[in-house]
Copies of this chain bind each other. A is one copy, B any other.
Amino acid sequence: MKIGCHGLVWTGLFDAAGIRHSVNKTKEAGFDLIEFPLMDPFAFDVEAAKSALKDYDLGATGSLGLSAEADISSEDPDVVRTGELLLNRALDVVAEVGGTDLCGVIYCGMKKYLEPVSSQGLHNSMAVIGRVSDRAADLGVNVSVEVVNRYESNILNTARQALKYVQELGRANLGVHLDTYHMNIEESDMFSPVLNTAEALRYVHIGESHRGYLGTGNVDFDTFFKALGHVGYDGPVVFESFSSAVIAPDVAGMLGIWRNLWDNSEELGAHANAYIRDKFTAVNTIALH
């Protein structure tokens, strides 16, 4: 199992210097991989990432949330095309830096919608994700659709919805991406979604209920990690946290990050890395009970 950290824990700016800084810090905190934010994959400095990953011997994945202009669940073919091109470029970035996974809100805009998705919009979303998955298969990359709360998507808010979505597409490298922050809002509990998606579960985000330090909010992490142990999950497990102290202003606005939940990225990251690893150490002993 690979334990990772989202790049936005370290910086809000992902130019060459930001990339190197975040890789360095992710490694120092003890993680195995970094998840690069690829909101704008065309501007991402692949060479900077490749060299930093190599220098610090770190793995990588990539994630993004589509903007309204690139929303593949739109009914507007131009917008959908923009989204597909962006996803393809994000996929290339992941492959070029030697990454393993593309995930996040890649199937619709990551925004507060004001109405439900239309059937044409859903059709568009699935058609693009199907093609992107096929392309990813050729590149040896896994694709997973992140289940997020009602304020960040109007399509996939629960694990069962995501399971249905990926099952209908039926690609071996396409799976479900669960995030504890969102599960705490939308799921019935923290065990069933893992159980229900088991075979299809490809990616996991670990975030606290308010996106601060793990263990300082309301997410029932113990139950979640026991469920991961129960199904024998061994894919990426990536820490995510946002505070107004570090984040880029536009991302802060999109995610509603209005207050400081921490001000020390190093302590936060090291804590999260230890927290996640210690949970698995403990969960592994349950077999003895």
Q: How far apart sit A225 and B225, CA to CA, in the bound complex (Å)?
A: 20
Give A159's nearest chain B residue, CB to CB: B289
Within 8 A of B (CB), among A228-257: 230, 244, 249, 253-257
Known: A184-B184, A185-B185, A253-B115. A274 touches B283 (CB 8 A): no
Does A186 reach chain B (CB closer than 8 Å)? yes
Contact B191 A191 (CB under 8 A): yes
Q: Which residues on B sit within 8 Å (CB–CB) of A160? A: 289
Does A140 reach chain B (CB closer than 8 Å)? no
Known: A226-B192, A256-B154. A185 touches B212 (CB 8 A): no
Contact B261 A150 (CB under 8 A): no
Does A26 reach chain B (CB closer than 8 Å)? no
Known: A185-B185, A188-B226, A256-B150. A261 touches B288 (CB 8 A): yes
The number of chain A residues with a CB under 8 A from chain B is 67
A237 to chain B, nearest CB (A): 15
Known: A185-B185, A223-B191. A256 touches B112 (CB 8 A): yes
Stoichiometry, copies per complex? 4
Contact A253 B114 (CB under 8 A): yes
Known: A113-B253, A217-B187. A259 touches B223 (CB 8 A): no
Contact B256 A113 (CB under 8 A): yes
Contact A158 B215 (CB under 8 A): no
Give A183's nearest chain B residue, CB to CB: B218
Contact partner of A254 (CB less than 8 A), chosen from B114, B274, B286, is: B114
Contact B210 A259 (CB under 8 A): no
Listed residue (A149, A258, A275, A281) with the most chain B CB atoms within 10 angstroms of its CB: A258
Q: How far apart sit A93 and B285, CA to CA, in the bound complex (Å)?
A: 36
Q: Which residues on B sit within 8 Å (CB–CB) of A192? A: 226, 230
A56 to chain B, nearest CB (A): 24
Q: How far apart sit A192 and B87, CA to CA, in the bound complex (Å)?
A: 39
A22 to chain B, nearest CB (A): 21
Can you offer 13 A-B residue contacts whose CB atoms are under 8 A? A113-B253, A114-B253, A115-B249, A151-B151, A161-B259, A184-B185, A184-B209, A184-B218, A188-B289, A189-B191, A213-B281, A216-B283, A261-B289
Chain A contact residues, CB within 8 Å of chain B: 112-116, 149-151, 154, 157-158, 160-161, 183-192, 195, 209-210, 212-220, 222-223, 225-227, 230, 244, 249, 253-263, 267, 271, 274-275, 278-279, 281-283, 285-286, 288-289
**Further pairs besides A116-B258, A184-B209, A189-B218: 8, Cβ < 8 Å:** A113-B253, A149-B256, A187-B217, A189-B217, A212-B285, A215-B225, A218-B218, A223-B223
